[in-house]
Structures are given as C-alpha cells and as structure tokens.
C-alpha cells in the first residue's frame, strides 16, 4: 500500500522541529518522506529511480498529522469489569472484585475481551499498548488479528504463571510477528516472594533484558515492603539486580529521593497512570520531581476496570493538571512535555524506537486530528490545545504499520464490530452468572 498525505499540518515530535504544512508519504509499513510540498518535488528529482504511484492520496485539509499515542500501561481484557468493580479501596477492589472474576476467565475470553479495548485505543488515537495480563499468547493473537501494535510484560506472581512461563513468553512471542513483542516483568513486589524475584533476576541477566512491574502504587504497599526488607520496592528490586539492564515501573506514586537516584542511575522509565490513581485514591505521582531528576516519564491509562476510560487525552490533561496542584505551581509540567510523554517517551519505554516520531525510515504509525472542531478553535497553539482541550472527537484517522485501522468513525480490523460487542456480552453473562 502506498499512501500520500498532503495539505497537512505536521507535528513530527522531533526535537526543536515546529509544526509545518506539508506531506507525509508511506510505502508499505514505512514512512519514506516528511516535508513541505516543495521538498517533495526535490525528493522526486533526487530519486528518479523511484516510481511513486499512489494507491491513495489523502487531502488532510490542514488537519494535523502526528505520531500515534502510546498507551504505556494497560490490562486490555479488563473491559469485562468496566463499571462492575468501582468505588472501593485498592486492596478490596483487587481481592473481592477483580481476582475472583479473573479466576474464571479463559484464554479465549481474554482474546475476545481485548478487542473491545483495541477499538477504544484506535478511536483515541493510540497506536500501541504496553499490555500486562493473564494469557500472553491469546493476548498476542488478539492484537495481531486486529493489526494493532502490542508490547507485553508478565504478571507473574506467587499464585499464577511462573518464571518458566515468563521465559517461554519471552522467547516465543518476540520475533513471531510484526505486531507483538515481550519484555520481562512481574506483577508487583507484594505479590512475589523474594525467591521468585531472584529467579526473575537470573532471567534478566541471562537475556541482558530490562525489567518491569507495578511499583510503589500505594503508600501502604511501600511501607509494607520496608517492613519486610528494610527497603522500598525500588531499592529491593535494585538490590536483587533486577534493574541492571534498565526497565521501569508502572505508577511510582510513592517514591523518595533515594528511589529517584536509583531510577536515574539505572535509566528507568516511569509510566504514570493519573486517572486510575485518582479513582483508586492511590495518590498523585511526583512528575515534576521526575522531570527535574532527568527521569523519563510515559503515560498509561491502566486497565478499563480501574480507570474506566482508555482515553489518552484525559490522561494527558490529568498529568499536567495534577502536577500543578501537587506543587501549587501553575507552570509545572508544560503541556508540550506531556505530549512528548504520550508519544516519544511511551515508544522508547516500550522498546518501539522506530515508532516514536514522524520521519523517513520510521514505522507509519500516524494519527490525524481534526482541527476544525470547536474545541480546537481558534488555532493559537496546537500542542497545548491537544493536551488542554483535545478529546477523542478530534481523532479522525489512526494508521498502524501503513494500514488505516480507524477513519471517520469506521473501524478496519477485519471483523464485524457488532459481533465483537455481542461476544463480550456473552462472556459477561456467563462469568457473572
């Protein structure tokens, strides 16, 4: 497939490159040109050997092309529990609402339920998800079948999965297809024995691989780890060598200066999940402190049971809005930095280094935002508009790997959407009976 986008405002997300009017050319799954119309003519003159016959030419009508958002933490199949497990403290939420119903879920259930989330990602301008759930092989099948990019990590703990399975996921999912990859990880310190974590550390060293987990999401989790080991979870994981090859953590709401020193030293990423942390009353992450320490931050929605919305626009606003309140400083965490978190930093945290910006040689994971909507007018500052007033209604196209998967309210994932909804209702009725 060869696609030419023209007459577009373009936000490449490359450092120090301003928005400009121009064109993006896509051949198969790759971007081959990003520039002005005049630069496009020069490109053709310089590459007379390339015959550019377009399968489709899209007049963007001065709407915005930019890299897709990266949802850097989610549990997609938890669409099942959306609005069924609300208004409870985290420990009660997990133990009385989530774990019992998860025990009934099959791999096939998870395959189908993940597709509900994928549809929501597409309509929110999200082109990749950093997934953690119970049956990684069927999760990979679901994302591949929908043509959606997925990086997974494990939720290994004392009660499900194992270190042996973790290694199998790592070796079997990586390299299998263009849409799926796998990173080593566990659920959390409080669900894993020291012995289990030591075995995981051996794996990270065997493969020289980064490590991920839910880390310091709540104050009680952090205090209980200190009571067990005399260290915070960050300090404890680091003492076991789990971070020797980098990685990061989800949430990281309750960190101290020493934690952040370790995170900086090990090159760890923070994935903040403000909507979920608010709803579960976990706290507000110290985003300003991370930025000042030079620790990269990405953004995730968390799962649709704890959020309940898979909406990157809402998360971006919450990241900057909550930081301003936490620090009582309206200048904290600039919107442009938040936009970088939602795109470039998310891609790098997930190891998707060819999906971070719009540039020749990068993967064609592109979204188009409608600027001719009331919430984007007048056009004073597009980047700040996206973060402060943007919404899902502005997403008019989502392309992944050179294929348009969502356009003007219509999905293109190779399956009837009503059938996906009907299957989810069938699963819900059976598991909640």
CA dist., res. 270 & res. 255, Å (int): 11
- Do 379 and 315 lie in one domain? The reply is no
- Do 275 and 384 lie in one domain? The reply is no
**Which residues constitute the domain of residue 228?**
69-349
Q: Is residue 161 part of a domain?
A: yes
Q: Is residue 432 part of a domain?
A: no
CA dist., res. 55 & res. 256, Å (int): 54
- Do 82 and 156 lie in one domain? The reply is yes
- Do 153 and 232 lie in one domain? The reply is yes
- Do 111 and 146 lie in one domain? The reply is yes
- Do 318 and 187 lie in one domain? The reply is yes
Q: Is residue 148 part of a domain?
A: yes
Residue 54, number of CB atoms within 10 A of its CB: 14
Q: Is residue 433 part of a domain?
A: no
CATH number of the domain enclosing 48: 2.30.40.10
Query: Going edge to edge, which strands form the sheet with 126-132?
Result: 69-74, 126-132, 149-153, 180-188, 211-215, 247-251, 269-272, 297-299
Count of domains for the chain: 2
- Do 245 and 341 lie in one domain? The reply is yes
User: In terms of C-beta distances under 8 Å and separation of at least 24 residues, what long-range contacts does 322-328 make, across chains too?
Assistant: 322/274, 322/278, 322/284, 322/285, 322/287, 323/284, 323/287, 323/288, 325/284, 326/284, 326/286, 326/287, 326/288, 327/288
Radius of gyration of the chain (CA): 21
- Do 243 and 205 lie in one domain? The reply is yes
Q: Is residue 416 part of a domain?
A: no
Pairing verdict, β 126-132 and 69-74: parallel
- Do 332 and 319 lie in one domain? The reply is yes
pLDDT in tens, the chain (433 residues): 999 999 999 999 999 999 999 999 999 999 999 999 999 999 999 888 887 899 999 999 999 999 999 999 999 999 999 999 899 887 888 889 998 999 999 999 999 999 999 999 999 999 999 999 999 999 999 999 999 999 999 999 999 899 999 999 999 999 999 999 999 999 999 999 999 999 999 999 999 999 999 999 999 999 999 999 999 999 999 999 999 999 999 999 999 999 999 999 999 999 999 999 999 999 999 999 999 999 999 999 999 999 999 999 999 999 999 999 999 999 999 999 999 999 999 999 999 999 999 999 999 999 999 999 999 999 999 999 999 999 999 999 999 999 999 999 999 999 999 999 999 999 999 999 8
Q: Is residue 110 part of a domain?
A: yes
Q: Is residue 428 part of a domain?
A: no
Q: Is residue 429 part of a domain?
A: no
CA dist., res. 143 & res. 145, Å (int): 5
CA dist., res. 212 & res. 152, Å (int): 10
- Do 230 and 374 lie in one domain? The reply is no
């Amino acid at each position: 497939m060869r696609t030419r986008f023209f007459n577009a405002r373009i936000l490449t997300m490359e450092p120090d490159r301003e928005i400009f009017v121009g064109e993006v050319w896509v051949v198969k799954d790759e971007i081959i040109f990003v520039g002005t119309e005049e630069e496009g003519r020069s490109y053709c003159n310089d590459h007379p050997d390339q015959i550019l016959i377009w399968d489709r030419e899209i007049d963007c009508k001065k709407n915005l092309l930019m890299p897709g958002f990266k949802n850097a933490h989610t549990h997609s199949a938890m669409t099942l529990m959306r609005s069924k497990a609300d208004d409870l403290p985290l420990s009660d939420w997990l133990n009385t609402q989530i774990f019992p119903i998860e025990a009934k879920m099959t791999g096939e259930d998870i395959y189908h339920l993940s597709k509900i989330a994928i549809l929501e990602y597409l309509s929110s301008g999200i082109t990749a998800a950093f997934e953690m759930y119970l049956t990684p092989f069927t999760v990979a099948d679901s994302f591949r079948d929908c043509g959606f990019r997925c990086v997974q990590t494990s939720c290994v703990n004392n009660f499900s999965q194992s270190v042996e399975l973790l290694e199998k996921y790592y070796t079997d999912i990586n390299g299998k297809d263009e849409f799926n990859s796998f990173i080593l990880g566990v659920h959390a310190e409080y669900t894993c024995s020291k012995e289990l974590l030591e075995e995981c550390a051996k794996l990270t060293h065997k493969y020289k691989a980064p490590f991920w987990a839910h880390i310091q999401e709540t104050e009680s989790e952090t205090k209980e780890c200190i009571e067990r080991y005399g260290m915070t979870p960050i300090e404890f994981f680091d003492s076991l060598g789990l971070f020797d090859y980098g990685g990061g953590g989800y949430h990281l709401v309750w960190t101290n200066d020493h934690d952040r020193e370790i995170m900086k030293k090990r090159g760890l990423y923070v994935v903040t999940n403000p909507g979920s942390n608010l709803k579960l009353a976990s706290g507000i992450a110290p985003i300003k402190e991370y930025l000042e320490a030079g620790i990269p931050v990405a953004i995730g929605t968390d799962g649709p049971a704890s959020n309940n919305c898979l909406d990157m626009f809402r998360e971006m606003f919450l990241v900057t809005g909550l930081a301003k309140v936490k620090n009582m400083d309206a200048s904290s965490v600039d919107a442009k930095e938040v936009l970088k978190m939602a795109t470039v930093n998310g891609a790098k945290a997930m190891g998707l280094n060819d999906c971070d910006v719009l540039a020749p040689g990068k993967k064609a994971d592109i979204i188009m935002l409608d600027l001719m909507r009331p919430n984007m007018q007048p056009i004073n500052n597009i980047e700040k508009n996206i973060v402060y007033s943007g919404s899902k209604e502005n997403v008019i196209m989502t392309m992944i790997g050179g294929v348009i998967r969502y356009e003007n309210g219509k999905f293109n994932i190779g399956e009837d959407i009503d059938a996906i909804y009907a299957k989810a209702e069938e699963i819900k009725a059976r598991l909640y009976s």
